[in-house]
């Protein structure tokens, strides 16, 4: 989807940023269900025609706002020097995506994901794509360092991390703190990647 859309000019990029920021703000303020394309256009001081040239509708626009919020500049996961460090960095990123950092939180879109098939598909696709990229980078780092871990299970470990962070945040009503993130990595993810036999 994103790859098919031509890169916007600098003026177009500024307009796109304003629209995505407006969508993020409105979803955070009033929730996905109450946000309308008209409201996003008014907040961004943009026309609906401009928006529809870039996004099919509200679901795609909000999904893109969430992706940008979660990924920032879209940088690859860093090589922290150990698979444990790489996993801690990944879990911290998942926690930010679930709870939101200056944008819509995945947690805040749960009702929209449940009721809007288009949003559900877009978010699921984003999570799967980002998970594959991150898993491959973490596995590549681990192999390059010669760490004795089951690199073929990194993608599964990240899936488990997403599910655990989302569930615990939903049930507790607060983001996972550093201690909970450490426990998740040390007690669940690292054992899952235990030495291959």
Q: Note the pTM of the prediction, 2 decimals.
A: 0.74
Q: Looking at the domain 75-192, which fold is it?
A: Tetracycline Repressor; domain 2 (1.10.357)
Q: Mean of the per-residue pLDDT values for the chain?
A: 84
CA neighbor of 103 nearest in space, from 65, 130, 75: 65
Q: Rounded to an integer, what distance in angstroms lies between the CA atom of residue 51 and that of residue 41? A: 8
Q: Looking at the domain 10-68, which fold is it?
A: Arc Repressor Mutant, subunit A (1.10.10)
Give me the pLDDT at residue 103, please: 58
Tens of pLDDT, residue by residue over 112-152, are: 888 888 888 888 888 888 889 999 999 999 999 999 899 99
Neighbours of 97 (CB within 10 A): 25
Q: What are phi and psi of 35, to 5 degrees?
A: -75, 135
Q: Rounded to an integer, what distance in angstroms lies between the CA atom of residue 175 and that of residue 195? A: 30
Domain boundaries, the chain: 10-68, 75-192
User: Which stretch of DSSP H or E encloses residue 79?
Assistant: none
CA neighbor of 85 nearest in space, from 162, 155, 137: 137
35 pLDDT more than 60: yes
Q: Rounded to an integer, what distance in angstroms lies between the CA atom of residue 59 and that of residue 37? A: 10
Beta strands in 13-162 (DSSP E): none
């Amino acid at each position: 989807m994103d790859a098919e859309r031509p890169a916007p000019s600098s003026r177009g990029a500024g307009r796109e940023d304003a629209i995505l920021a407006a969508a993020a703000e409105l979803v955070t303020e009033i929730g996905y269900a109450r946000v309308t394309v008209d409201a996003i256009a008014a907040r961004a001081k943009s026309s609906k025609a401009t928006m529809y040239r870039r996004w099919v509708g509200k679901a795609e626009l909000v999904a893109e706002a969430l992706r940008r919020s979660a990924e920032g500049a879209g940088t690859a996961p860093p090589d922290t020097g150990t698979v444990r460090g790489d996993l801690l960095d990944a879990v911290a990123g998942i926690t930010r995506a679930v709870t939101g950092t200056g944008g819509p939180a995945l947690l805040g879109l749960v009702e929209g994901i449940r009721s809007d098939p288009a949003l559900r598909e877009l978010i699921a696709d984003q999570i799967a794509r980002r998970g594959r990229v991150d898993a491959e980078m973490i596995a590549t780092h681990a192999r390059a360092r010669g760490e004795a871990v089951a690199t073929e299970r990194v993608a599964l470990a990240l899936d488990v991390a997403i599910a655990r962070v989302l569930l615990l945040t939903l049930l507790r009503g607060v983001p996972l703190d550093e201690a909970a993130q450490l426990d998740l990595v040390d007690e669940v993810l690292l054992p899952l990647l235990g030495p291959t036999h």
